[in-house]
Structure 1
Amino acid sequence: MSKALVHVFFARRAASKVPNVTDVGLKPRHIKKVAVIGGGLMGSGIATSLILSNISAATENNPLKQSVFSEIEKACPPHCISATNTSTIDLNIVGEKTSSQDRIIGAHFFSPAHIMPLLEIVRTEKTSPRVILDLLTVGKAITKVPVVVGNCTGFAVNHTFFPYGQGAHILANLGVDIFRIDKVISNFGMPMGPFQLQDLAGYGVGIAAGKVLGTAFPERTFSSPLVDLLVKGGRNGKTNGRGYYIYEKGSKPKPDPAVVAIVEESRRLTNIMPNGKPISVSDQEIVEMILFPVVNEACRVMDEGVIVRASDLDIASVLWMGFPSYRVHLFRPLKPRSCL
């Protein structure tokens, strides 16, 4: 336990040290004004985070990112950094209609943006070291822990962790009770199980991200109709008080018995239960079926050179997923091609 906590302590500090960026003598600029384009849940959270740190913020309606960046380039001075909060869109595509791709960078906040401490900074091959350093500095100024990653589908964090939800949905469609899955993962040390986490995040972004990741990685993507069935039934998680759980003001989330019929319909549609019967699994097997694919995906992320160091994924697992700091970490011992 103590070794794991020490590892997290030093990994958190190492995350902001980026080769050829923080070690080449550059000094960050003093950024005091930020414009936030988009006033939804994520945009308002980012604006709140900036305001609480005494950095000016402006929110507007959000058109398509390409046209926005093209208009930003026309309106802003040449030293302006163009950062996008997208979690799946290729940054090269976002900036292809601009002539200043060295100033385009990803600033991927995690919802709720004014509370979650992780900030995924996404660089392209054309992003300048100064822009990366400036965004690292802004991240620290607004009390975030920045992790610098490369540009790929899902970037480092969503790319690594998308199998987490996939494993849960496979188990559910194989006949394992969803509330048991959540309880087992919570008992392991996570703040909540994968289905309650989906409720908290809302289904819209998850559906959109799932389509992008499914297109990019079809050979290792499981297509579950469960979330679509929930949405069809008027459920959208915590945002409207009804998801896998029932959410009432002043009380803890309660498992919704009515969801059982929706899960059964999903099982009927996927038809993957052996001989039509639920599988029998231990609690340990549930943990392994959900977490081991995440470790394998982390190996792929490392092989592709998306991250600077494996400990950056440990920090992401703690600060975003809530992976317990006291456990031996998912990625601490990993080297490229060390998949399970």
Structure 2
Amino acid sequence: MLIKQLREPITRIAQCMPGLSPQNKTERFTRHPFWVMVDKEMMDHIRSWRFMILVAIVVLTCLGASYTALLNIAKAVKPGDADEAFLFLNLFTVSDGTLPSFVVFMGFLGPLLGIGMGFDAINSEQSRGTLSRILSQPIHRDYLINAKFVAALMVIALLVFVMGYLVAGAGLIAIGIPPTFEEFMRINLFLMLSVVYIAFWLNLSVLFSIRFRQAATSALSGIAVWLFFNLFYPLMLNIVLKPFTPSAYASPKSIYLFERSRYLLSQLMPNELFNEATSTLLMPTVRSVGPLTMQQVEGALPGPLPLGQSALLVWPQITGLLAATLICFALSYYLFVRREIRGRS
């Protein structure tokens, strides 16, 4: 009885105070629909067999590359070499030829991870008839496409950073030398750049999933683009430029113009942008990513570049990857928002 008598005035006081009323407490802790959809998409990715298979492939190959780097890190760095001051970074770049390095594996398997997580983002929902049900709820249409991209990107970022820190932790235990602050920042920049690179392929696969109704068609389209930039575009570039190759008696200016043209055309490949940016960030001794003239080479002091200079050197490559990612996302957003959606259309 005493508890009941005390409960009534406390309830009346709580109702008079907006911050303590049960209704406001419920509203305060109610999550935004967008983040509810993000959580749902993340759990769908994590629980799917497709994601587990992709993660197993990426993790095993990257662990094999890091094991090879640990075995050959002593041979890669010579006493008095400029790379000796950045010994920890060699864990991500050293290879003995049997297995590629961690950077090469990330550049090769990262696109497959992005394509595998986004090729059926929209068309699978439509083929099952759940897309019209979701959009019939009182939510904005763009929440769906944004939630699918954000959820997949968060899972990819978590996977990339966990693998990078696992390699760094294994190297710390094996060699017993902790990374310097600059090495730690370079590793983090490399991991963030890897996330951006995979996000480009994720957005491209989501774009194909909106454009094509069959998941198999969108998956093959993403893989075809990946194969084109990795295999066929370099071959086509060599064939096109072969008639314009300068002779051995050509002037240095003509040779420079030819190499400059080849370099600019190669910048259309996303994998080339990623390779140039990562090699510059993880190898401080790299001082240029394009052809140089004799005037630029003369007087240059050999030595590693500081982190700020390396970032400025690859800023065009980073900007190119960001621009390509945003363009693919904008196209996906535009096509999805303007698309007519019916139940099992």
Q: When the two structures are superposed, what TM-score results if normalisation uses the length of structure 2?
A: 0.26
Q: Greater share of strand residues, 1 or 2?
A: 1
Q: Greater share of helix residues, 1 or 2?
A: 2
Q: When the two structures are superposed, what TM-score results if normalisation uses the length of structure 1?
A: 0.26
